[in-house]
Chain A
């Protein structure tokens, strides 16, 4: 009975929590955090249950108010959306548990607002994942976008400005999506994703459809921070509070990547798209360029959060490269990398939060090697995630790159292979730079105050350390069991038209 409601329950629970949190905060301020964690935990439970159902018994369709598609709005849990719901809610749960202390420390006084907006953000993101309707997707996209603008606007003094830039660009992206959708609707006369996908092959004049699709990809590319549309990302992630960054960075761009997967593999025939249009090639090449550019920019940063933000630009490039391959291996690589990168980036941002709470900063040149003694677990978690980002086996990051390399070689795309290799090396450069600071005696004597601060600090509190370590452990588990994940969850979601 309840299982059939799961597609709706996930975004609805988040929406309800967003409304309840202001009321609950009137009773007891800490209740807002507890409520947010509880709601996210509940949604994670739903998502896991939904994924189990989808894997064993097939997909779940929920017709809102009983209206049949294509007239009514449909929520769908298929292998792809169920998979994304699980890791989006899972990572969000860990980030929110971690956020309890960070919010109190960095943006104290607005915790009620933070959690309410976080719930709205998650309602939007999970709605984008489960909806089966292209216009409804736009609505959820705006919900999540508005929530994230406000979340990002609280932080250090420059946060409002960067949030405004994000707002300008984000709104432009959403507008492009809507404009593109209008073209598609004009040609097909339907907004239901499955219906449109069914009708598209019969459309005679493909030019408006392709134009519309390109505009939608452009808009989503902006949301996803696909190079060169990534300008908003670095400032937004750097100046926002660590809690907001840790929540938005790992999953925000992933959900945009999910939409891109939906558009390019499910809405239209990926084979047709690859053979008849340059769209996949363009997405792939932009991804490749982003992998290099993001990594080079990351190497130049002194602030850990900013370095990680640029690293996100690079990592999103991996996903785009996989999508651009438009082949089963590329699809596997892109999907697996979305999962892996969500866990890696969340882990790294959580450690950054630990540093900020304990040391008051996360500036690279001011990190000293005493941290290896005073915050051993945080440092170890960072090391694990960093090595995974570099892509060394048996950690998770290696395997998504492995599928991407396999996919690129299968198409004899040696440029992509070279970019994957080069980008991994650049990753190694900027991550080992941090590891050297954490573990090795510096050559130039560091500032005394930094040494004193590092020596006097303690390991992060349990509520922050536990999510960090869970994510670090998950990287090892995801790496070792990647073949199981691929064969159980990812293979069933590969569209049959791709010929797998």
Chain B
């Protein structure tokens, strides 16, 4: 068994963004100071999270019980490889997004920037809490905080459309949260335990197939709304009315990945592969995910609004991860986890580019993008990297994860899902490459004269995420050992024990 150490570092990492909220609110009249707090919190949180990495790689687990929140259940944080994996993605991309946000909201002259940055910090704090939660109830608490924190960002523009989207988002998110609460309560009633455990803890408890399926569906509905599983996805394209950094970090990384992360937790750490297989739950999940992948890609083909197309692409790629988990093979699970990271860097690059185009040229539709490759070469180069990655072209990182997903489909003997992955890759090309064609090979209109790249505050983060995508494609283990972590997690979940990660240290 891994050794568990008590440490406040995970708590501090979650509190760093939350502590920034009052400071941000208090310095609303001094924008530079306000943005300093955001950046300070981002760097602090990321530093704290990264400081946990060596220990986890060496097989140590760090945990901290904050307090007892309900008799027998603690509000508790625990840094296992899975949680750390997700926390690293969120906290590091938050730094880039913070710089980008500053450039974006100032460039676009957004109103109520204080509320924007405060809500953003709340969302990140909640997401880190989700990542590091040790049990289901802690997960639910942070999950609900995330729902609440995202609402002010969705309605940020305060137009009729954004209000409608905001209400829709709240309806979906709160209903999902309630279902998750019910599922959690039911789990507690069955097992009197809520602690995540690799390989699941419901194995011996569930006997009745009907109850197992109902409980699983409750869970999947609860986390599936944020994960954009069809038919629970409609809020995501609607939420694209939010400012682009919100779409980038929250609706491509933090919020939606929290949903996917929830699927991973539920499938791998609550039910466990054996139970999933015993009750045929993997088939349900895989079918939903496969349908979502194909449908979302087809719908994306028809979107002219750039952000909406990216949104449907996100829905499809989220289901890659879900399908990878549902395959219940080590390679598939590992591919899913890697895609969690790789889709994050590539999709955030695409959203950053969409935002830069909007702030710089005020263009939102794909049909208006003719010739912008010459005006904004760096931005569109980064866009190309993202597009190639998501379409599965080596050496961009998303190729690696797709490769493992396909391997998982083969090794689990479910070739129909291999076909789904391949077909979706083609569809990705079909909906992304026309954008590149317009940008680089069509002549630009007169409206582009006198315009050049967006502000460096935006372009530099864009280039960094694109380079990151490339580096992680060439060296999947670079920087933060994503590859080792993913392999270790997948082995421990499949083996149903936490042991195999020990001794992975470089």
Give B318 Cβ to nearest chain A Cβ, in Å. Answer: 24
Is there contact, CB below 8 Å, between A410 and B175?
A: no
Known contacts: A410-B189, A440-B158. The answer to whether A486 contacts B174 by CB under 8 A is no
Chain A residue nearest to B74 (CB atoms) is A483
A139 lies within 8 A of chain B by Cβ = no
Is there contact, CB below 8 Å, between A406 and B141?
A: no
Chain B residue contacts of A421, Cβ below 8 A: 175, 178-179, 182
A484 lies within 8 A of chain B by Cβ = yes
**Cβ proximity bits A389-413 to B, threshold 8 Å, 1 near / 0 not:** 0101110001101110110011000
Is there contact, CB below 8 Å, between B174 and A428?
A: yes
A2 lies within 8 A of chain B by Cβ = no
B residues 70-89 with Cβ under 8 Å of A?
A: 70-71, 73, 75
A447 lies within 8 A of chain B by Cβ = no
Q: Which residue, of B69, B73, B148, B175, has the highest number of chain A Cβ atoms within 10 A?
A: B69
B358 lies within 8 A of chain A by Cβ = no
Chain A residue nearest to B73 (CB atoms) is A483
B144 lies within 8 A of chain A by Cβ = yes
Q: Which of A394, A405, A440 is the one whose CB lies under 8 Å from B185?
A: A405
Give A420 Cβ to nearest chain B Cβ, in Å. Answer: 8
Is there contact, CB below 8 Å, between B67 and A483?
A: yes
Chain A residue contacts of B67, Cβ below 8 A: 480-481, 483
A449 lies within 8 A of chain B by Cβ = no
Is there contact, CB below 8 Å, between B185 and A409?
A: yes
B32 lies within 8 A of chain A by Cβ = no
Chain A residue contacts of B182, Cβ below 8 A: 405, 409, 417, 421
Is there contact, CB below 8 Å, between A409 and B70?
A: no
Known contacts: A406-B189, A441-B158. The answer to whether A428 contacts B181 by CB under 8 A is no
A480 to B69, CA, bound (A): 7
Is there contact, CB below 8 Å, between B186 and A424?
A: no
Chain B residue contacts of A56, Cβ below 8 A: none
Chain A residue contacts of B147, Cβ below 8 A: 392
Q: Which residue, of A393, A405, A424, A432, has the highest number of chain B Cβ atoms within 10 A?
A: A393
A425 lies within 8 A of chain B by Cβ = yes
Chain B residue nearest to A421 (CB atoms) is B178
B302 lies within 8 A of chain A by Cβ = no
A residues 442-500 with Cβ under 8 Å of B?
A: 443, 480-484, 486-487, 491
B396 lies within 8 A of chain A by Cβ = no
Is there contact, CB below 8 Å, between A406 and B185?
A: yes
Is there contact, CB below 8 Å, between B174 and A390?
A: yes
Chain A residue contacts of B70, Cβ below 8 A: 399, 402-403, 482-483, 486
Is there contact, CB below 8 Å, between A432 and B170?
A: yes
**Cβ proximity bits B136-180 to A, threshold 8 Å, 1 near / 0 not:** 000011001101100000010010100100010011001101110
Is there contact, CB below 8 Å, between B188 and A406?
A: yes
A140 to B185, CA, bound (A): 40
Give A382 Cβ to nearest chain B Cβ, in Å. Answer: 15
A387 lies within 8 A of chain B by Cβ = yes
Where chain A touches its partner, the secondary structure class is helix
Chain B residue contacts of A275, Cβ below 8 A: none
Is there contact, CB below 8 Å, between A425 and B158?
A: no
- Report the contact-size class of chain B (Cβ under 8 Å from the partner): 20 to 34
Is there contact, CB below 8 Å, between A443 and B181?
A: no
A436 lies within 8 A of chain B by Cβ = yes
Give B287 Cβ to nearest chain A Cβ, in Å. Answer: 26
- Report the contact-size class of chain A (Cβ under 8 Å from the partner): 20 to 34
Is there contact, CB below 8 Å, between A393 and B141?
A: yes
Is there contact, CB below 8 Å, between A393 and B145?
A: yes
Is there contact, CB below 8 Å, between A402 and B181?
A: yes
Chain B residue contacts of A406, Cβ below 8 A: 185, 188-189
Is there contact, CB below 8 Å, between B181 and A405?
A: yes
Chain A residue nearest to B174 (CB atoms) is A428
Chain A residue nearest to B187 (CB atoms) is A409
Is there contact, CB below 8 Å, between B163 and A483?
A: no
Chain A residue contacts of B73, Cβ below 8 A: 483
Known contacts: A393-B144, A394-B141. The answer to whether A425 contacts B189 by CB under 8 A is no
A180 to B97, CA, bound (A): 68
**Cβ proximity bits B49-85 to A, threshold 8 Å, 1 near / 0 not:** 0000000000000000001111101010000000000
Known contacts: A393-B144, A483-B71. The answer to whether A425 contacts B175 by CB under 8 A is yes
Is there contact, CB below 8 Å, between A440 and B178?
A: no
Is there contact, CB below 8 Å, between A402 and B185?
A: yes
Is there contact, CB below 8 Å, between A484 and B68?
A: yes
Give B223 Cβ to nearest chain A Cβ, in Å. Answer: 16
Chain B residue contacts of A398, Cβ below 8 A: 141, 144
Q: Which of B160, B174, B186 is the one whose CB lies under 8 Å from A409?
A: B186
Known contacts: A410-B189, A417-B182. The answer to whether A392 contacts B69 by CB under 8 A is no
Chain A residue contacts of B189, Cβ below 8 A: 406, 409-410
Give A332 Cβ to nearest chain B Cβ, in Å. Answer: 9
Chain B residue contacts of A399, Cβ below 8 A: 69-70
Is there contact, CB below 8 Å, between A436 and B163?
A: yes
B residues 170-217 with Cβ under 8 Å of A?
A: 170-171, 174-175, 177-179, 181-182, 185-186, 188-189
Is there contact, CB below 8 Å, between B160 and A443?
A: yes
A398 to B174, CA, bound (A): 13
Is there contact, CB below 8 Å, between A440 and B155?
A: yes
Give A119 Cβ to nearest chain B Cβ, in Å. Answer: 38
A residues 313-340 with Cβ under 8 Å of B?
A: none
A residues 414-440 with Cβ under 8 Å of B?
A: 417, 421, 424-425, 428, 432, 436, 440
Chain A residue contacts of B181, Cβ below 8 A: 401-402, 405
Chain A residue contacts of B167, Cβ below 8 A: 432
Give A372 Cβ to nearest chain B Cβ, in Å. Answer: 10
Is there contact, CB below 8 Å, between A424 and B178?
A: yes
Is there contact, CB below 8 Å, between B68 and A483?
A: yes
Chain B residue nearest to A428 (CB atoms) is B174
A405 to B188, CA, bound (A): 11
Known contacts: A405-B185, A409-B189, A428-B170. The answer to whether A393 contacts B163 by CB under 8 A is no
Is there contact, CB below 8 Å, between B185 and A393?
A: no
Give B503 Cβ to nearest chain A Cβ, in Å. Answer: 38
Is there contact, CB below 8 Å, between B188 and A392?
A: no
Give B212 Cβ to nearest chain A Cβ, in Å. Answer: 15
Give A327 Cβ to nearest chain B Cβ, in Å. Answer: 12
Chain B residue contacts of A432, Cβ below 8 A: 167, 170
**Cβ proximity bits B109-127 to A, threshold 8 Å, 1 near / 0 not:** 0000000000000000000
Is there contact, CB below 8 Å, between B185 and A483?
A: no
Is there contact, CB below 8 Å, between A387 and B148?
A: yes
Is there contact, CB below 8 Å, between B178 and A425?
A: yes
Q: List 28 A-B contacts (CB under 8 A).
A: A392-B148, A393-B140, A394-B69, A394-B141, A402-B70, A405-B182, A409-B185, A410-B189, A417-B182, A421-B175, A421-B179, A421-B182, A424-B178, A425-B171, A425-B174, A425-B175, A425-B178, A432-B167, A440-B155, A440-B163, A443-B163, A480-B69, A482-B70, A483-B70, A483-B71, A486-B70, A487-B71, A491-B71
Please provide the 5 A-B residue pairs with the shortest distance between their CB atoms, ordered closest to farther.
A393-B141, A483-B68, A405-B185, A421-B178, A441-B158
Known A392-B177, A394-B75, A399-B69; 12 more pairs at CB < 8 Å: A392-B144, A403-B70, A405-B182, A405-B185, A406-B188, A425-B174, A425-B175, A440-B155, A440-B163, A482-B69, A483-B67, A483-B70
